[in-house]
Structure 1
Amino acid sequence: MQLTAAHWVYLLGVVVILATMIARKNIVVPAVVATFLTALVFSGSLITGITSVFNASLVAATNLFNIFLIIALVTAMLHSLQALGADRKMVAPFRRVMRNGHLAFWGLAIVTYFMSLFFWPTPAVPLIGAVLVPVAIRAGLRPMAVGVVVACAGQGMALSSDYVIRVAPGLSAQAGGLDANAVADTSMVLSLVVGGVALLAAYALEVRKIRTPSPRLLAEWEGGAATASASGAAVQATAADTAATAGTSDAAEAPASAGTGRRWGRVRAGRARAAASTGGGTARPGGGTATLVPGEPEGHDPKGQEDADAPSTAHPRAATVFALLVPLAYLSLIAYMVVAKVSDPVPDLEAGQAAGLVGGVAAIIVFLAALVGDRAGFLESSATHVVNGLVFAFKAMGVVLPIAGFFFIGNGEFAAEILGTDDAGDGLLFDLVAVAQQHIPDSPFVAAFGILLVGLVAGLDGSGFSGLPLTGALAGSLGTSSSIDPATLAAVGQMGNIWSGGGTLVAWSSLIAVAGFARVPVLDLARRCFLPVICGLVAATLVAVVFFG
């Protein structure tokens, strides 16, 4: 196959985008410029080059809008649950389980995983930080260990599979022309392997450092607010900036979750002032600035029950009902999907149906929660939740469109529509891989670890999802030539990209939020996560080649 100038321009664009990621800069402008230059050289027409900038984002938006919509509906559901106070009640029963540091480690991991699987990690972090982190600290778990557990279970294990909401498998599959269900199933298994190895390694490193349960541990942790208040404010501000610029599905949720923290902060600040004025409480070190860090229980019950200052809800019965209804609804959905996979009489879900069920359930819950909470005004409040969810979805994922548009040019199915031609061949990226494969050892191990490395590098921008079109497209091209299932390769690349940039290895990702709630330095937390996560990724890649290749 003879490569043309368009192939070399496209390859140069990929290299520049990767270099920009490594430099920790936003990659939207390089992606748009690369799209323009590739289309210009391919067609020889300035008009085609300019229109391709628009067409690439349009094609990406057309193919990815289902992802945007489900993000919007799930976000709207979370907001409606927060209005009732049901979000806190969903995790409150788990507080009684954490009686020592060992139970706290694994209990925190399990709750974080399932909460993050349903609601994505960053919205779940404020909830876990406010309700469970103080309990884990008191039980004897060190703050650094708390950060590692939350990051690995939420930002890593739950987000890398994204099995319920299925944004990540959809992005990986779209770019490579693969079956999204196959990518999702393989990703689920690999994410459990990575997470299991990472958590076991972290536990082995931490087990000798677990302390005897004591209220003094919680008092010492809270007492650090005086020195951590300024850095905590900077952490929250940086998290918001990262979310606004990185444009990922997960990191960009920091603004929504930060609002919860500020709300609780104002409640606590008001009570602290009231206590100080009446002489009924002790002023907290750091004053009002400490309220930027949620999850600081005052008058904490040593038995691990509800905080003495936990705010009451105007709809306690409704909050309890929805706290039970939401997990049961989604657990039922997961149970159906599992039974459908292993049972012939039960029909399996077709492509897109799983996402449709998740979104449909979320929409119904939004309307029911608004009806219970706002009664006569539920029509307006329901619409507000949905609109806010849509706004958030485009803030969170909008920046992915021009990036995905560029990588879609490498796929022949989408390139023809973007470039305005009847036939774009197999795609520029496929052609490049076809030419380069004669120089690449025909080994599944080389292909799998190569895709893993690309995913890790692509995650260096701290976004988590922006590199999935690249790894998905590479997987679709390399799969047949390397004698390994392309869906497996896409899942491996997804592991590398999300575990790197989703919030475990990169300090400028949503890991900032985890560090803020655990009150540990984010760079130290990233270093502490490095060895367990890398061990997990290597193990999962070997599993992928041996059992799924």
Structure 2
Amino acid sequence: MDVSLLSLHWVYLAFVLLIIGFMVMRRDTTIVCIIGILALGLLATHSVSHSVGGVFSGFIYAIKELIGTILVISLIVALSRLLIITGINEVMISPVSRLIRSPALAFWIIGIVMMVISWFFWPSPAVALVGAVLLPVAIRVGLPALGVAVAMNLFGHGIALSGDFVIQGAPKLTADAAGIPVSDVLSASVPLVIVMGIVTTAVAYWYMRRDMQSGKLTMETGRTAPSAADTEQSQQPSGSLLTPAVKKAAAIVIPLLFALDIVAMFRLDLQGGDATALIGGTALIIMIALSLLAHRNNGLERATSYLIEGFLFGFKVFGPVIPIAAFFYLGDSAFTDIFGKVLPEGSHGIVNDLGLALAQTVPINTGVSAVTLTTVGAITGLDGSGFSGISLAGSIAHLFAAAIGSGIATLTALGQIAAIWVGGGTLVPWALIPAAAICGIDPFELARRNLKPVVIGLAVTTIVAMFLI
């Protein structure tokens, strides 16, 4: 076997560590990722032209993977701008304002709402719904946009997605790989999800309160652009566009339409991308109808201008992330799509190969098994998917449980939780973009804010798992 093919894994790992180091130093990682793609391409193809072309192909692959998220965020932004201009947002959020009266209430209420919606429809459409409605309220009571993003992120992409108790996509993958019933994984994951959720959100809240009191966390911390549901700081509402009666009617109809979306998702079993598409399409139709109603003769032109503004926002936010996502997608199936079938025979992708190699080099006992499953899950989550490596976690859990004689369901659930918390959208910056974009937050700043709580949560959850095996 070609030595250069074997070295792909080590070069990929070296660049991952280098990128993490640059993030810690708060330096931009775009150029590092592009160099990483070039280096992997040269090792894989031994061709300069293919390597250079691979950078462009990697960008295209990343855009294809992210385009659904880019579009729904752009459409929500377009609608939000119109709601601000017409003053409808003021009427919509007034009832919620009475309930959310402090930053603490804003953090926990937004998080719990996000978690419940994510259980049924996964986090991507939930981010658009929760952020557009509750972000202005949270900002008004003093919770920074970064704090809102943390709440949506940890409760949605963390707690809800890692357990996946309703849709059961994640436990089905891990259970099949481990050779056990889905119900066993679900039962075993309940205490681990509870521990992980309580520890992580409590630690995140404590850090947030401490930094707010010290002045380290302010209303502008991490802000890179006006949020998708920003307040009048960027645009003042124009009361002459709509009468108070029309504003009130719109404030009732718009949430009702999104509520009907939720009913449709449930009745038609719409999940993931299909659910996101329904939310995006509804936002677009509402925006067009309101533009025609508010601007009358200029409604057609203004609808287009709102749409353009939304797309400008979406691509401005995602622009710096596309090169980074392109590199990390190479850790999974994207490598073959971009550079051809050049990986060693029997390879399951660079990231999964690294996780499997780790599992095969450690001694096997209860404590080491738990730590290894957490580590393997975290490594396989580095591609930003969270789901790509959980089958590997299930397979490794099966091997370890056979060696120690027990704990297959707990180990499987532990690997699933680690993979999704890291890769599903709480630590990997290109995976947590939906929440960051809706809140107008730098995704790398959000990843840094999540890092300590998630690492502490994983450590505590791993220790608890040792006693449950």
Task: Call closer, same or farther: CA 1:48–1:544 in 2, change over 3 Å.
Answer: farther
State the match for 1:397 in structure 2.
318
**207, 226, 244: which one aligns with 1:255:** 226
C-alpha displacement of 1:410: 2.3
Write the letter of the residue equivalent to 1:495.
Answer: W
Instruction: Measure the CA separation in 2 of the matches of 1:416 and 1:501.
Output: 22
8 Å contact kept, 1:48–1:419 = yes
Distance apart, 1:359 and its partner CA:
1.3
Q: Does 1:438 align with 2:360?
A: yes
Q: C-alpha distance in 2, partners of 1:319/1:239?
A: 33
Change beyond 3 A, Cα 1:124–1:401: same
1:333 is aligned to 2:261: yes
* Consecutive unaligned residues in structure 2, runs of 5 or more: 115-122, 162-166, 177-181, 399-408, 430-435
Contact 1:453 1:496 in 2 (8 A): yes
Structure 2 residue matching 1:349: 3-state secondary structure = coil
Out of 340, 362, 366, the position equivalent to 2:283 is: 362
Structure 1 unmatched ranges of 5 or more: 135-142, 164-168, 208-220, 244-253, 268-309, 341-346, 459-466, 503-508, 515-521
Which residue in 2 is equivalent to 1:418? 338
Aligned residue number for residue 421 of structure 2: 495
Task: Give RMSD over aligned pairs.
Answer: 5.2
Question: Which of residues 397, 409, 417 is equivalent to 1:482?
Answer: 397
Q: Which residue of 1 aligns with 2:222?
A: 239
Counterpart of 1:5 in 2: which secondary structure?
A: helix
Paired letter, 1:416: T
- Taking structure 1 as reference, are residues 541 and 90 closer, same or farther at Cα in structure 2, changes over 3 Å only? farther
- Per the alignment, do residues 472 and 202 of structure 1 end up closer, same or farther by CA in structure 2, a change over 3 Å counting? closer
Taking a change above 3 Å as real, the CA distance of residues 405 and 543 of structure 1, as seen in their structure-2 partners, is farther
For 1:318 and 1:348, how far apart are their aligned partners in 2? 34
More deviation, 376-385/328-337: 328-337
Distance 1:38 1:481, change over 3 A: same
Deviations 1:29-78 (A, max 9, x none): 11110110111011111111111111111122123222221121122222
Aligned to 2:38: 36
* CA distance 1:56–1:68, shift in 2 (3 Å): same
Matched, 1:71 2:73: yes
**In 1, distance between residues paired with 2:153 and 2:343?**
40
424 and 199 in structure 1: CA distance in 2 versus 1, 3 angstrom threshold: closer
Q: For 2:351, which of 429, 438, 442 is the aligned residue?
A: 429
CA deviation digits over 1:176-200, x for unaligned, max 9? 9x9xxx9xxx9x9998875555666
Give the fraction of aligned pairs with identical amino acids, expressed as a percent: 23
Deviations 1:227-280 (A, max 9, x none): x9xx99x963x634xx3xxxxxxxxxx43469745347xx7xxxxxxxxxxxxx
**Matched-pair contact (CA < 8 Å) for 1:72–1:390:** yes
Q: Which amino acid aligns with 1:157?
A: F
Tell me which residue corresponds to 1:376: 297
Indicate whether 1:17 and 2:19 are aligned: yes
Contact kept, 8 Å, 1:120 with 1:159, in 2: the verdict is: no
C-alpha contact (below 8 Å) 1:157/1:192 kept by paired residues: no
Which structure is larger by alpha-carbon Rg, 1 or 2?
A: 1
Contact map agreement 1:235 1:513 (CA 8 A) in 2: no
Q: What is aligned with 2:108?
A: 109
In 2, the alpha carbon distance for the partners of 1:541 and 1:198 equals 13
Match for residue 330 of structure 2 among 402, 409, 422: 409
Structure 1 residues 440 and 75: alpha-carbon distance in aligned structure 2, compared to 1, 3 A threshold: farther
**Matched residue type, 2:154:** G
Separation (CA, whole Å) in 1 of partners of 2:14 and 2:207 = 43
TM-score (norm 1): 0.58
Amino acid at match of 2:418: V
- 1:389 and 1:89 mapped to 2: Cα distance? 22
Q: Deviations over 1:138-191 (max 9, x none)?
A: xxxxx8xx999756534532464798xxxxx9xx9xxx9x9xxx9xxx9x9998
Which residue in 2 is equivalent to 1:156? 154
- Residues 461-482 of structure 1: CA deviation (Å, up to 9, x unaligned): xxxxxx5527555545444223
**Equivalent residue letter for 1:480:** S
Cα distance in 2, alignment partners of residues 376 and 335 from structure 1: 35
1:262 match: secondary structure: coil
Query: In 1, are the aligned partners of 2:287 and 2:303 still within 8 Å (CA)?
Result: yes
Cα distance between partner residues in 2 of 1:403 and 1:206: 27
1:127 corresponds to 2:136: yes
Q: Which residue of 1 aligns with 2:273?
A: 352
Q: Please say which of residues 472-481 and 198-207 is displaced more in the overlay.
A: 198-207
Provide the C-alpha distance between the structure 2 equivalents of 1:51 and 1:334, rounded to a whole number of angstroms: 42
Aligned length: 407
Partners in 1 of 2:299 and 2:413 — Cα distance?
Answer: 43
1:95 aligns with 97
Is the contact between residue 387 and residue 419 of structure 2 (CA under 8 Å) also seen in structure 1? yes
- What secondary structure, in the 3-state scheme, does the structure 2 residue paired with 1:352 have? helix
